[in-house]
């Protein structure tokens, strides 16, 4: 059941996440007929998410209990990174002419970047195969970047998707670190609603000052634009990020971030269906190289390494942890039984002999 549950969450996450890129381009492109600035659009989006999450918190009750042990500053930082800067750089790249497929491919480097930053932040180990996969995946992205650069897009604009993926990776790892700390201290996981509330606040801290420079009060939205913003707010910012938080409770940051490798093909297909974008041989070649990078990066041996600090119990999966606990329990019982038997035999053998036989007592 747990496998089916995680598989279902993973599928929903990929579908919701990839739809965000397509709808985001629709919001800032000619099809949507939108002249709204990206910062204003994101601010309106997160104000809607904040209102919905606040309403759910009030209805569910227990607000003080939900925020009692939560690390407010850390979650505000996650919100600023994984919501504010990530979306500002990613959607801003759309507005400046970067294709949806290219942004999706660049953000698909997140698993490799997560692996590279995993040890200093979450103390989870990084294998040599993951580093090899990082190089292979980077080569795949460079194919698409070189094509876009030759089409007249500046290097500064092409750097924006990389800023987006770096922000998302840092936010994911910090959130995973918080989950590991809760597990180590045997605390209940933080409430999803309270975490999303703080993430929205963190995102708005980044977005509101930037949106004020573009006269947000004078913006007028039509029905199509409202639909786009509501989709981004409810389906992506609320739905996809809530699923992401659930997955980070049951899977390592590396495994969760590896789901982003499913986003490029889904995004390319959706872009072909919605915008009529062509898929050329270079796109297909980059996709195959990226797939090779996934295979190399996710190939692990049977031996599992446990990396933890004194404040953390372990960074392995819950199933592996239970199996290890059962094996340790059996070994402890065996040792206890052996010690008990040894003690009994020792007392029996050292007791003076009181029978009628002329045998000598054993020593």
CA distance 96 to 318: 44
CA distance 328 to 352: 38
Torsion of CA 96, 102, 104, 109, to 10 degrees: -110
Structure tokens at 109: 């480097």
CA distances from 152 to 98, 104, 326 (A): 10, 19, 60
The pLDDT score that the predictor gives to residue 279 is 72
Domain-located, residue 82: yes
Domain-located, residue 132: yes
DSSP conformational letter for 33:
T
Nearest to 305 by CA among 233, 254, 244: 254
Question: Residue holding tokens 């000052």?
Answer: 209
CA distance 43 to 40: 5
The pLDDT score that the predictor gives to residue 358 is 41
CA distance 151 to 153: 6
The answer to whether residues 291 and 327 belong to one domain is no
Cα-based angle 298, 304, 306 (whole degrees, multiple of 5):
115
How many distinct structural domains can be found in the chain? 2
CA distance 207 to 353: 88
CA distances from 123 to 109, 221, 298, 316 (A): 20, 46, 18, 11
The pLDDT score that the predictor gives to residue 79 is 94
Domain residue limits at 329: 317-350
CA distance 24 to 147: 23
Domain-located, residue 356: no
CA distances from 317 to 101, 224, 320, 333 (A): 33, 44, 5, 24
CA distance 190 to 260: 24
CA distance 141 to 151: 16
CA distance 109 to 283: 16
The answer to whether residues 249 and 287 belong to one domain is yes
Domain-located, residue 329: yes
Residues 113, 165 contacting (CB under 8 angstroms): yes
* 3-class state of residue 309 by DSSP: coil
Pinpoint the alpha helices (H) of the chain: 2-28, 38-60, 63-66, 72-79, 86-95, 100-107, 110-122, 128-150, 155-184, 192-211, 223-231, 241-250, 253-257, 263-274, 281-298, 318-350
Domain-located, residue 359: no
Torsion of CA 282, 283, 289, 292, to 10 degrees: -150
The answer to whether residues 162 and 256 belong to one domain is yes
Nearest to 87 by CA among 199, 172, 163: 163
The answer to whether residues 343 and 260 belong to one domain is no
The answer to whether residues 341 and 209 belong to one domain is no
Domain-located, residue 168: yes
The pLDDT score that the predictor gives to residue 260 is 75
Nearest to 25 by CA among 91, 107, 106: 91
The answer to whether residues 100 and 152 belong to one domain is yes
The answer to whether residues 339 and 270 belong to one domain is no
pTM above 0.75, yes or no: no
The pLDDT score that the predictor gives to residue 89 is 87
Domain-located, residue 223: yes
Domain-located, residue 309: no
What is the full per-residue pLDDT of the chain (363 aa) written as tens digits? Answer: 777 888 888 888 888 888 877 776 666 554 445 567 778 888 999 999 999 999 998 888 767 777 777 888 999 999 999 999 988 888 777 777 777 667 766 766 777 778 778 777 877 776 777 677 767 777 776 776 666 555 556 677 778 888 988 998 899 899 888 888 888 888 887 888 899 999 999 999 999 999 888 777 777 777 777 888 898 899 988 999 999 888 888 877 777 877 777 777 777 777 778 777 777 777 777 767 766 766 676 565 444 444 444 444 444 444 454 555 555 555 555 555 545 544 544 444 444 444 444 443 344
The answer to whether residues 289 and 325 belong to one domain is no
The answer to whether residues 334 and 188 belong to one domain is no
The answer to whether residues 127 and 166 belong to one domain is yes
The answer to whether residues 84 and 150 belong to one domain is yes
The answer to whether residues 195 and 242 belong to one domain is yes
């Amino acid at each position: 059941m747990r496998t089916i549950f995680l598989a279902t969450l993973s599928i929903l996450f990929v579908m919701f996440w990839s739809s965000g890129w397509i709808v985001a381009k629709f919001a800032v492109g000619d099809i949507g007929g939108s002249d709204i600035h990206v910062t204003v659009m994101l601010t309106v989006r997160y104000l809607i998410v904040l209102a919905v999450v606040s309403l759910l918190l009030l209805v569910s009750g227990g607000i003080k209990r939900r925020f009692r042990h939560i690390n407010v500053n850390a979650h505000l930082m996650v919100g600023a990174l994984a919501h504010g800067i990530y979306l500002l750089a990613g959607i801003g790249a759309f507005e400046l002419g970067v294709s949806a497929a290219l942004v999706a491919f660049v953000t698909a480097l997140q698993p490799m970047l997560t692996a590279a930053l995993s040890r200093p932040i979450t103390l989870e180990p990084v294998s040599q195969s993951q580093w090899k996969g990082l190089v292979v995946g980077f080569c795949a992205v460079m194919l698409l970047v070189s094509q876009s650069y030759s089409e007249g897009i500046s290097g500064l604009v092409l750097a924006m998707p990389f800023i987006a993926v770096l922000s998302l990776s840092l936010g994911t790892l910090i959130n995973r670190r918080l989950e590991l700390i809760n597990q180590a201290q045997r605390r209940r996981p933080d409430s999803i609603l309270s975490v999303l509330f703080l993430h929205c606040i963190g995102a708005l801290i980044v977005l509101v000052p930037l949106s004020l420079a573009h006269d947000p009060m004078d913006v007028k939205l039509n029905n199509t634009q409202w639909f786009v913003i509501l989709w981004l707010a409810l389906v992506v910012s609320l739905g996809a990020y809530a699923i992401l938080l659930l997955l980070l409770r049951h899977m390592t940051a590396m495994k969760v971030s590896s789901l982003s490798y499913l986003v490029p093909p889904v995004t390319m297909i959706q872009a072909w269906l919605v915008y009529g974008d062509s898929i050329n041989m270079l796109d297909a070649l980059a996709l195959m190289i990226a797939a090779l990078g996934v295979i190399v990066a996710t190939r692990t041996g049977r031996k599992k390494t446990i990396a933890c600090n004194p404040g953390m119990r372990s960074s392995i999966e819950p199933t592996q942890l239970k199996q290890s606990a059962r094996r340790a329990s059996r070994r402890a019982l065996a040792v206890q039984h052996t010690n008990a038997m040894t003690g009994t035999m020792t007392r029996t053998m050292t007791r003076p002999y009181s029978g009628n036989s002329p045998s000598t007592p054993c020593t």
